[in-house]
Structure 1
C-alpha cells in the first residue's frame, strides 16, 4: 500500500511517499481502507522529532482517518466489513490502510461525506474530553478558545454554543474572526492588536473566563491565569508558544482556579475508548442534526502531504486540512 513516512526529523520535505506493508488486524482491532486522513499539529511535531509515537504504535504519522472496514479481528463485535467509519488513531493514518482498536471507531455520521468524516475524530475527542469531561463547561459559562479558526477551535465553538455557553475566541485576522462568528462565537478578539485579557474581562463585566482552552502554552500562561474567573479552569493542550513559563501561584490561589495539562495520544486504551464512546453519545447526534459540522478548509491527495504540512504551518487555513487516498 502507499503511505507517507518521515525519513528523518526536519521540514515538510522529509515526508516521503513509500510502499509499506498492509496491516493485519490483531485481536480487538479492525483494518480500515482509508478514504481520508486528518492533518494535525501533532503530525508536524512528530515530523520535527518532537512528538514520538507511543510504544507499539505505527511510526507513520496520522491520528485520524475515515474509510471502510476491510477486515475484522478476533473478538470484535458491532462492526463488519463494509461499514463506513471514522477512527481515532495512535498513528498510521497517512496510508491507504490502517489497523485500529475497535473501541476507537465510530460510524460516519449521517449527513457527513465519507471523506469529510476524517475531520471529526481528533478534534471532537480533544474538545469533548478537555472542555467538557475535564473542565466541565456548563450552560451560561464563558469559554475562551485560543486559535478559534483552527480545526479544534471551529469544533469547540460549535460544541460550546450547543450547550449554551458564551464563546470568546482569539484569531489573527478579520476573516478568521468572521468565520468564528458564523460558527457561533460571541466575543471576537484579534490577538495581533488587542489584549485578550482586557477584552474578556470587559465582555464579562469583570468576571473572566470560566474555561480556557489553550494550545499556546508558556507564552500565554500568566495572561491566561489573569483572564480566568474565580473557580476557572485552564486546560493546556499545546506548546506552540513554548514549554517553560512562570505561574503566579498567589493569583491561582486567590481565584481558586485550576491549571490542567492534558494529551490524548498517549492515553491508555480504556481511557481512549471512554472518550470515543462519550463523543459518539454526546456529539454525534449534534452532527447528524446539523447543529455541529466538520469545517474542512482543503483536501489534498496523499502524495501532497508535504504541501499540506506547509499550509498548516503557515496558519492561513480555517478548519481542517485532509489527505485523501
Structure 2
C-alpha cells in the first residue's frame, strides 16, 4: 500500500507519498480500506517530532479515517467486510489501509457521506469525552470554547447548543466569529480586542491554549466551574492561583485522547454512537469541512492549517 511518511521531523515538505508494507488486523482489530482521513493540529506536532504515537502504535500520521471494512481480526463481531465506517485512530490514517481496534470503529452517521465522515471521529470523541463525560455540561450552563473556528471548536459549539447551553467562543477575526455565530454561538469574543475573562463567566471551558490562558481561564470560571485543557498551543508551564480556584470550588482537568487505553477509547466511542450520533443524524450537529484535498497534498493541508485560516476540518481524500 501507499502512505504518507517522513524521513525526519520537519516542515510540510518532509511528507511524502511512498510505498509501505500493508498492515494486518490483529485479534480484535478491523482492517479498513481508507477512503479519506482528516488533518488535526496534533498531526502537525507529530510531523515536527513533538507528538509521538503511543507505544506500539503506527508511526504514520493520522488520528481518524473513513472507509470500507476490508478484513476482520480474530474475535471481531458486529462488523462485516464491505461495511462503510469511520474510526478513531491512535495513528496510521494517512494511508490506503489501517488496522484499528474494533471498539474504535463507528458506522457512518445517517446523512453523512463517506469522505465527509473522515473528519468526525476525532472531534466527536474529543468534544463529547471532555465537555459531556468529563465536565458534565448541562442545559442552562455557559460553555466557553477557545478556538471556536477550528475543527474542535466548530463541533463544540454545536454540541453545546444541542445540550441547551449558552455558548461563548473566542476567535481572531470578525469574519470567523460571524461564522461561529451561524453555528449557534451566542457570545462572540475577538481575543485580539477584548479580555475574554472580563466579558464572560463560564461553567465549562474547553481550552486548547494551555499555559498562556491558565490564569485567565480560572478568572473566567463561575463557582463550581470546570476547566478542561486539551491543548498546549500557548505553552506547557503556567502559574495556577489555587486561592482563586478554591474560592470558586472549581476544577482544572487536562486530558489527552490519543494516549488513553484502548478499553477507555471504546467506552467513549460507544457513548458517541449512542448519544451524539443521533444529534448528527437529526442535523443538530453537522460536520464542518473547510475543504477536501488529495492525500498526496498532505503537506499543503498542513500549511493551510498552520496559516490559521481554516474553518472546521481539512479532509484528505485517499481513494477517488
* Same-fold status (TM-score > 0.5): yes
Question: 1:278-297 alignment to 2 at 5 Å?
Answer: 278-297=271-290
Structure 2 CA distance for aligned equivalents of residues 278 and 29 of structure 1: 19
Q: Deviations over 1:68-119 (max 9, x none)?
A: 0011111111100000000000100000110001100000111001000011
Report the alpha carbon displacement of residue 158 of structure 1 after superposing the two structures with TM.
0.4
Q: Give the Cα–Cα distance (whole angstroms) in 2 for the partners of residues 182 and 54 of structure 1.
A: 37
Structure 2 CA distance for aligned equivalents of residues 91 and 27 of structure 1: 18
Aligned to 1:272: 265
**Is 92-101 or 12-21 further displaced after alignment?**
12-21
Give the alignment partner of residue 242 of structure 1, picking from 231, 235, 249: 235
Aligned counterparts of 2:72 and 2:205: Cα–Cα separation in 1: 40
Match of 2:20 in 1: 20
Give per-residue Cα distances to partners, 1:109-150, cap 9 Å, x unaligned.
Answer: 110010000111000000000000000000000010000010
Alpha-carbon distance in 1 for matches of 2:244, 2:197:
14
Find out whether 1:83 has 2:83 as its counterpart: yes
Give the deviation of 1:6 after TM superposition.
2.3
Q: Deviations over 1:259-300 (max 9, x none)?
A: 100000010011000000000011100111111110000111
Matches of 1:188 and 1:33, distance apart in 2: 41
Q: Distance in 1 between matches of 2:4 and 2:264?
A: 28
Secondary structure of the residue aligned to 1:75 is coil
Which residue number corresponds to residue 299 of structure 2?
A: 306
Q: CA separation in 2, counterparts of 1:310 and 1:185?
A: 27
- Alignment deviations for residues 236-258 of structure 1 (CA, whole Å, 9 cap, x no partner): 00000001111111101111110
In structure 2, the residue matched to 1:204 is none
Counterpart Cα distance in 1 of 2:220 and 2:211: 15
Give the count of matched residue pairs.
Answer: 318
Residue equivalent to 2:111: 111
Is 1:152 aligned to residue 152 of structure 2? yes
Match of 1:263 in 2: 256
**Aligned partner of residue 283 in structure 1, secondary structure:** helix
- The whole-number CA distance in structure 2 between the counterparts of 1:179 and 1:113 is 23
Give the superposition deviation at 1:194.
Answer: 1.2
Off by >4 Å, runs of 4+ in structure 1: none
C-alpha separation in 1, matches of 2:7 and 2:132: 38
C-alpha RMSD over aligned residues? 0.6
Is the partner of 1:53 in helix, strand or coil? coil
Distance 2:259 2:213 in 1: 24
Distance 2:6 2:156 in 1: 30
In the other structure, the counterpart of 1:214 is: 207
Aligned to 1:6: 6
Calculate the TM-score normalised by the size of structure 2: 0.98
Aligned to 2:188: 188
1:136-195 superposed Cα distances (whole Å, 9 cap, x missing partner)? 000000010000010000100001100100000000111111111111100000111111
- Aligned equivalents of 1:311, 1:171: Cα separation in 2: 17
Which SS does the other structure have where 1:49 is aligned?
coil
Structure 1 alignment gaps of length 5 or more: 201-207
C-alpha separation between the residues in 2 aligned to 1:243 and 1:6?
A: 26
Name structure 2 gaps, 5 residues minimum.
none
| Cα drift, residue 38 of structure 1 | 1.1
